[in-house]
Structure 1
Amino acid sequence: MTSERRKKGSSITRVLEIIEAVAKADRPLSPADLALLLDIPKPSIHRILQQLVDEGYLQINVRGLVIPADRLDNAAWGILHTSRFKALRQAILQKLADEIGETCGIAIPRGTEMIYYDRVQTNWPLQMHLPIGSHTPIWCTASGKLYLSSLSKDARQGILRNLPMPKHTRNTLTTIEQLEPELEQIASNDLGIDNEEFVDGMAAISVPIKDKQGKLFACLFTHAPLIRKSLDQLLAFEPQMRRAAQEFGELISEK
């Protein structure tokens, strides 16, 4: 009985180690990568991976590499929403929104979209209404472009080559040739900008929230109608945005 418990515990540990490794990896891993990284025999890796794929936690892409699947994404999303730091997170957002006088929020990359994870609105009668859980495009929003800029050039161009990029406004950039110089500029200063590219008459800026390894975890954004604040006026609040992003990064490191 003791040996059965030990064997079961070892199997569970291996499953969790594989999920953790795939979730934290900067790039998709091969089964051989995982076997070497976790010191697990290749036959065991393939067996466990197949079980996780069958259950919808992981998937194998066209190159034979392991990536998170919907069930793992949904689990991570649920954990974030039930975080014990929700009250403190809301307090940081509220302080920032009061300083800027505009809606502030957090967006998280998920596949080829950004998801509004949290936000605090101001009481202005005119504002853009995007509820928590809204999906926004990555090629024409401040947070989406910031996320793209954090990827390697090959990775982001691979995404953009296969992504329909309809024109939302007269300023929307819809080709890799148009986007790449701007993404390189964003990568150099860690500051995403939306100059009426997603919604006519709205500007937005975004700064990264990074984990303790310095990897972009989420994006902190603010947006405003241009009749109230210009893009340059929003950019004047960059120091306050970075301070709040650092506070969020410290919260992530405590988890």
Structure 2
Amino acid sequence: MHDDSSPTEKTIPTNLRLLLLLEELAKVGVPTTPTAANEILRLPKPTIHRLFHTLEQEGFLQRDIDGRSYAPGVRLRKLAGNVLSTSRVRMIRRTILQSLAEDIGETCNIAMPERHAMVYLDRVETHWPLRIQLPVGTEVPFHCTASGKMYLSSLQPRLFAKYLSVVTLDAQTAHTLTDPDALRAEVETIRSQGYSTDTEEFMEGMVAVAVPIFDSEKRLMSTLSVHAPTQRVSLSDLKFHLPRLKTSAAELSELVLS
């Protein structure tokens, strides 16, 4: 009898297929179809579609806007955040963040992109009594924060154009960029300079600077930022610390990949 099973299928134990599929989806980093993923895994078509269906049903994947591709779902994104917060990683991460905050003298944050906002994963507060309270777990918009605009600059132009076509750029302050063309120009500047800023766009009296934290594929994984009240510092004051921010971001990237 002819056996039409692929050689790869025979070498992948059943209990590893879901994990290898998730690994491949994370590596690709963009919404992916079962057919595209199967170019690597080489499983029978019914098998790969069944795996995608199971992951979607359980909340690890969700359909993208085109109805054919799949992106990380809520459970997979929470899993990624929990992995980054394991005790060993979090202890060293806090040490790096604490050292940075003490050197700069202002509050420093790590934020991760969710589907609709940036979410603060970790932060170290300034010692100054005048501070801006944005605790861990706070969600902040993409279009008017340093971390959010840093993330938008990492999107492929096609995806960023799609974002601009559907999003409502709500004004948080008088300085918020609510015109799509103005935000597009800002994001192009961020792409070229490698850092982003917030000049009282999210909150009156607050300025911020953010840099990317990259994964092993040199894609933005999260952001590292510093923010402070304008009563104490200017945006130029914060930009002075960009070399220190980038060094810490590189250390955080190495921590996750080690």
**Cα deviation per residue 1:36-87 (whole Å; 9 max; x = unaligned)?**
1211121110111111111111122242101111111122222222242211
**Residue 14 in structure 1 maps to residue 24 in structure 2:** no
- SS in structure 1 at match of 2:47: helix
**Aligned partners of 2:111 and 2:120 also within 8 Å:** yes
Q: Which runs of 5+ in 2 are unaligned?
A: 1-8
Counterpart-to-counterpart distance in 1, 2:241 and 2:42: 48
- SS in structure 2 at match of 1:169: coil
**Residue 120 in structure 1 maps to residue 124 in structure 2:** yes
Give the CA deviation at 1:91: 1.0
Counterpart-to-counterpart distance in 2, 1:162 and 1:197: 20
Match of 1:236?
A: 240
Counterpart-to-counterpart distance in 2, 1:176 and 1:83: 41
Q: 52, 55, 59: which one pairs with 1:52?
A: 55
Counterpart AA for 2:160: R
Counterpart-to-counterpart distance in 2, 1:107 and 1:119: 9
Deviating above 6 A after TM superposition, structure 1's stretches of 4 or more consecutive aligned residues are: none
Match of 2:3?
A: none
**Cα deviation per residue 1:75-131 (whole Å; 9 max; x = unaligned)?**
222222224221111111111111111001101111121010001001211111011
Identity %: 41
**Aligned partners of 1:149 and 1:183 also within 8 Å:** yes
Counterpart-to-counterpart distance in 2, 1:226 and 1:170: 15
Q: 23, 27, 32: which one pairs with 1:24?
A: 27
Counterpart-to-counterpart distance in 2, 1:160 and 1:82: 35
- SS in structure 1 at match of 2:217: coil
Match of 1:3?
A: none
Q: Following superposition of structure 1 onto structure 2, how do residues 66-81 of structure 1 map, counting pairs within 5 Å?
A: 66-81=70-85
Counterpart-to-counterpart distance in 2, 1:83 and 1:180: 39
State the number of aligned residues: 248
**Aligned partners of 1:157 and 1:176 also within 8 Å:** no
Counterpart-to-counterpart distance in 2, 1:26 and 1:70: 16
Counterpart-to-counterpart distance in 2, 1:24 and 1:213: 8
**Aligned partners of 2:84 and 2:256 also within 8 Å:** no
Counterpart-to-counterpart distance in 1, 2:74 and 2:196: 27
Counterpart-to-counterpart distance in 1, 2:23 and 2:205: 42
Match of 1:220?
A: 224
TM-score w.r.t. length of structure 2: 0.92
Counterpart-to-counterpart distance in 1, 2:31 and 2:62: 10
**Residue 86 in structure 1 maps to residue 64 in structure 2:** no
Counterpart-to-counterpart distance in 1, 2:89 and 2:51: 33
Q: Following superposition of structure 1 onto structure 2, how do residues 1-255 of structure 1 map, counting pairs within 5 Å?
A: 10-63=13-66, 64-254=68-258
Give the CA deviation at 1:22: 1.7
Tell me which moved more, 48-57 or 139-148: 48-57
TM-score w.r.t. length of structure 1: 0.93
Tell me which moved more, 228-237 or 40-49: 40-49
**Aligned partners of 1:138 and 1:147 also within 8 Å:** yes
Measured on the aligned residues, the alpha-carbon RMSD in Å equals 1.5
- SS in structure 1 at match of 2:123: strand
**Cα deviation per residue 1:119-167 (whole Å; 9 max; x = unaligned)?**
1001211111011011000000001001100111211121232222210
Q: Which runs of 5+ in 1 are unaligned?
A: 1-5
Counterpart AA for 2:138: S
Counterpart-to-counterpart distance in 2, 1:129 and 1:31: 43
Counterpart AA for 2:246: R
**Aligned partners of 2:164 and 2:180 also within 8 Å:** yes
